[in-house]
Amino acid sequence: MFLNFASMRNIPFSPPRVDQTTINAVVEVLQSGWITTGPKTRLLESKISDYCKAEATLCLNSWTNAVELILRWFGVGPGDEVIVPAYTYSATGNIVFHVGATPVLVDCDKDSFLVSAAAIKEKITSKTKVIMPVDIGGMPVDYEQFMDLVRLPEVKQLFQPKGENQKNLGRILVISDAAHSFGANYKGKRVGTQCDVAGFSFHAVKNLTTAEGGALIFNLPEPFVNAEIRASINISALHGQTKDALSKTQAGQWRYDIIEAGYKCNMTDIHAAIGLVELERYQETLDKRESICEIYNSVFSKHNLFVLPEFHNEFADSCFHLYMLRVKNASEEQRDSIIKRLAERGISTNVHFQPLPLLTYYKNQGFRINDFPNAWSQYESEISLPVYFDLSEADALWIAENVIECTQQVFSK
Ligand SMILES: Cc1ncc(COP(=O)(O)O)c(C=O)c1O
């Protein structure tokens, strides 16, 4: 096939913003004599609490481990059900399997990547312990709908509590999978404090990264004391040890106890140092991401080929994590062919997401994509375009033009 190399560039999908400031921050930690969990991690937690106006934040090594600890804290296990969207990354469903419970998948709304409380309500049974709506691409779900749902008398009546935490809550726990939505807004407030617990991901491709990492924000109602729950999850995340490594190294402070067979998923200060740099300049990151998304929107809106992603609605504003374009009437094969053509021009794109029932493990558990028609239709025509801080406006325009050209080529075949 003839390739016009003059028109080729090398555009990655989502490289991190690593510059001398990031490197200096990491070097400072490396030279400080303390490289695991310590002052930088605690500082990042307090800055995230300030940023999200939250009572209690805990930073750990990933969204996955952090949210799994919440399922365990709530006593979710065999025989229990956790309702999650079919349209999400596998982590949301996998952690339900980790604790031995059953994920119950819900289709997204028609023409949306998000699930609604109405769809979740239909799946609630007496076994439901947790619901976990997901802010796909950085666009928040309508959190209040989910909180209202679990407080409905008929829904509360169905709830069969096991263990102290479930009894104290007296209803289904709402965990917000906010892996994508750090910095997004819901009803004028930053995302994080709207549901019982929110989980952020700081994985390498996320808007705000610590290379690998995640954070929990606790907003549990009384009688829970969020600072205490945060402290107990922190212990679970470090072997069940009553003292962290830093406190243990203080002179004479060697003795500790193990109060449970805990896990090991703390964040290190090296990672936290990256996060602190990222957070300091996060508004700049958000502004740049927004301007790239606006360039894409302004070019694509002139063509009748696409369904543009939603970044604002009456209650929420996205943090522009993903630019999720849908190609009107494209089959999966046509979408893949557009992606291939873009790759031949040096443009890396992605698909968010393959709905869980398309993945082998989930198929083997009995899930079938035919039961999730909205997820399938969102997926088959979806292409996520590059959005990152160092992407120039000229490159964004060039990408958009190439998307149009490749789409027209595929449809003219
Ligand atoms: C929707 C969603 N939830 C959870 C996760 C898991 O995040 P982490 O990689 O920090 O465990 C991801 C990661 O991409 C995600 O996309």
Q: Give the tens place of pLDDT for each residue, 170-227.
A: 999 999 999 999 999 999 999 999 999 999 999 999 999 999 999 999 999 999 999 9
**Band of the pLDDT at 1, cuts 50, 70, 90?**
very low
Neighbours of 330 (CB within 10 A): 21
Same-domain pairing of 357 and 266:
no
Same-domain pairing of 56 and 179:
yes
Query: Would residue 384 count as lying in a domain?
Result: yes
To test ligand 1's pocket by mutation, which of 60, 63, 216, 267 has the most ligand atoms within 8 angstroms of CB?
63
Query: Would residue 55 count as lying in a domain?
Result: yes
Query: Does residue 372's CB lie within 6 angstroms of at least one atom of ligand 1?
Result: no
Same-domain pairing of 53 and 116:
yes
pLDDT on residue 247 = 87
Give the domain-ending residue among 220, 252, 279: 279
Query: Would residue 290 count as lying in a domain?
Result: yes
Query: Does residue 347's CB lie within 6 angstroms of at least one atom of ligand 1?
Result: no
Query: Does residue 14's CB lie within 6 angstroms of at least one atom of ligand 1?
Result: no
**Band of the pLDDT at 249, cuts 50, 70, 90?**
confident
What is the Cα–Cα distance from 29 to 36, expressed in whole angstroms? Answer: 9
Same-domain pairing of 294 and 259:
no
Same-domain pairing of 243 and 298:
no
Query: Would residue 176 count as lying in a domain?
Result: yes
Same-domain pairing of 292 and 252:
no
Query: Would residue 13 count as lying in a domain?
Result: no
Which alpha helices (H) appear in 1-151, and where do they start and end? 20-32, 39-52, 63-73, 90-98, 117-123, 143-151
Give the burial class of 404: count Cβ atoms within 10 A of its Cβ; 0-12 exposed, 13-18 middle, 19 or more buried.
middle
pLDDT on residue 250 = 87
Same-domain pairing of 328 and 274:
no
Name the residue among 107, 194, 157 with its Cα closest to residue 368. Answer: 107
Is residue 285 predicted with pLDDT exceeding 70? yes
Residue 261: which domain range?
A: 20-279
Give the domain-ending residue among 279, 313, 330: 279
pLDDT on residue 2 = 46
State pLDDT tens for residues 219-243. Answer: 999 999 999 999 999 999 999 999 8
DSSP 3-state assignment of 222? coil
Is residue 271 predicted with pLDDT exceeding 90? yes
To test ligand 1's pocket by mutation, which of 89, 90, 181 has the most ligand atoms within 8 angstroms of CB?
89
Same-domain pairing of 139 and 235:
yes
Same-domain pairing of 396 and 328:
yes
Count of structural domains, the chain: 2
Is the CB of residue 177 less than 8 Å from the CB of residue 215?
Answer: no
Query: Would residue 11 count as lying in a domain?
Result: no
Query: Would residue 6 count as lying in a domain?
Result: no
pLDDT on residue 4 = 54
pLDDT on residue 313 = 96
The dihedral through the CA atoms of 362, 365, 369, 374 has a sign that is negative
Mean pLDDT of 65-80: 98
State pLDDT tens for residues 357-374. Answer: 999 999 999 999 999 999
Query: Does residue 210's CB lie within 6 angstroms of at least one atom of ligand 1?
Result: no
Average pLDDT of the chain is 96
Same-domain pairing of 216 and 342:
no
pLDDT on residue 201 = 98
CATH at 324: 3.90.1150.10
Give the domain-ending residue among 227, 256, 279: 279
Same-domain pairing of 275 and 286:
no
pLDDT on residue 388 = 98
- Span from the CA of 33 to the centroid of ligand 1 (angstroms): 31
Same-domain pairing of 113 and 39:
yes
Q: Cβ contacts of residue 286 below 8 Å, gap of 6+? A: 183, 207, 319, 320
To test ligand 1's pocket by mutation, which of 108, 132, 203 has the most ligand atoms within 8 angstroms of CB?
203
DSSP 3-state assignment of 197? strand
Q: How far is CA 373 from CA 60, 119, 140, 352, in A?
A: 35, 13, 22, 16
pLDDT on residue 413 = 82
Query: Does residue 67's CB lie within 6 angstroms of at least one atom of ligand 1?
Result: no
State pLDDT tens for residues 21-60. Answer: 999 999 999 999 999 999 999 999 999 999 999 999 999 9
Query: Does residue 64's CB lie within 6 angstroms of at least one atom of ligand 1?
Result: yes
Neighbours of 42 (CB within 10 A): 16
Percent of the chain scoring above 90 in pLDDT:
94
CATH at 55: 3.40.640.10
- Span from the CA of 373 to the centroid of ligand 1 (angstroms): 23
Query: Would residue 299 count as lying in a domain?
Result: yes
Query: Does residue 194's CB lie within 6 angstroms of at least one atom of ligand 1?
Result: no
